[in-house]
Amino acid sequence: MRQMKLRAVLGALVLGSWAGANIETDLSNVLKLGPRVAGSAANESARVYLEGRFRALGYTTRRETFSYPRFDDLGSDVRVGERTLAGQALQGSAGGSVSAAAVLVPGVGTPEDFGRVDVRGRVAVVRRGQIPFAQKARNALGAGAAGLIVVNNVAGELRGGTLGERVELPVLGVTQEAGTALREGERVTLSVRVRQGEVRGVNVVAFKTGVTRPELLFGGHMDSVAGAPGANDNLSGTLAVLDLARRAANTPLAARSFFVLFDGEEDGLHGSRSFVKDNAALVGNLRAMFNFDMVGVNADPLAVGGDGDLVALARRANAGLESFPAGGGSDHVPFTQAGTPTLFFHRGIDPNYHQPGDRVADPALIGATVDAALRTADAVLSAAPAAAR
Ligand SMILES: [Zn+2]
The C-alpha atoms of residue 52 and residue 245 are separated, in whole angstroms, by 13
CA of 330 to the centre of ligand 1 (A): 6
Q: Where in the chain is the domain with CATH 3.50.30.30?
A: 75-192
pLDDT of residue 156: 85
Q: List the catalytic residue out of 51, 215, 265, 266.
A: 265
State the pLDDT confidence band at 6, using cuts at 50, 70 and 90. very low
**SS3 at position 120:** coil
CA of 383 to the centre of ligand 1 (A): 30
CA of 295 to the centre of ligand 1 (A): 10
* pLDDT higher than 70, residue 274: yes
- My answer on whether omega of the bond before 234 falls inside 30° of 0, hence cis, is yes
Distance of CA 183 to the CA centre of its chain: 38
What's the CATH number for 75-192?
A: 3.50.30.30
pLDDT of residue 161: 85
CA of 350 to the centre of ligand 1 (A): 11
The protein residues having their C-beta less than 5 angstroms from ligand 1 (an ion) are 233-234, 293
**SS3 at position 231:** helix
* pLDDT higher than 90, residue 227: no
pLDDT of residue 245: 98
CA of 161 to the centre of ligand 1 (A): 20
**Contacts for 114-117: CB closer than 8 Å, 24+ residues apart:** 114/139, 114/140, 114/142, 114/143, 115/143
Q: Region 157-182: what's the mean pLDDT?
A: 92
CATH (one of 3.40.1160.10, 3.30.70.260, 2.60.120.260, 3.40.630.10) for 21-71+198-382: 3.40.630.10
Residues 97, 190: contact at Cβ < 8 Å? yes
The C-alpha atoms of residue 353 and residue 364 are separated, in whole angstroms, by 20
CA of 1 to the centre of ligand 1 (A): 41
Q: Residue 265 catalytic?
A: yes
pLDDT of residue 18: 54
The C-alpha atoms of residue 103 and residue 285 are separated, in whole angstroms, by 61
The C-alpha atoms of residue 173 and residue 181 are separated, in whole angstroms, by 14
CA of 112 to the centre of ligand 1 (A): 43
Q: State the amino acid at position 262 in one-letter form.
A: F
Q: Where in the chain is the domain with CATH 3.40.630.10?
A: 21-71+198-382
State the pLDDT confidence band at 257, using cuts at 50, 70 and 90. very high
Q: State the amino acid at position 345 in one-letter form.
A: F
DSSP 19-58: HHHHHHHHHHHHHTT----TTSHHHHHHHHHHHHHHHHTT
Residues 20, 363: contact at Cβ < 8 Å? yes
Reference 263, options 253, 274, 254; nearest CA is 274
* pLDDT higher than 60, residue 241: yes
Looking at the DSSP assignment, which residues form a beta bridge with residue 173?
A: 88, 150
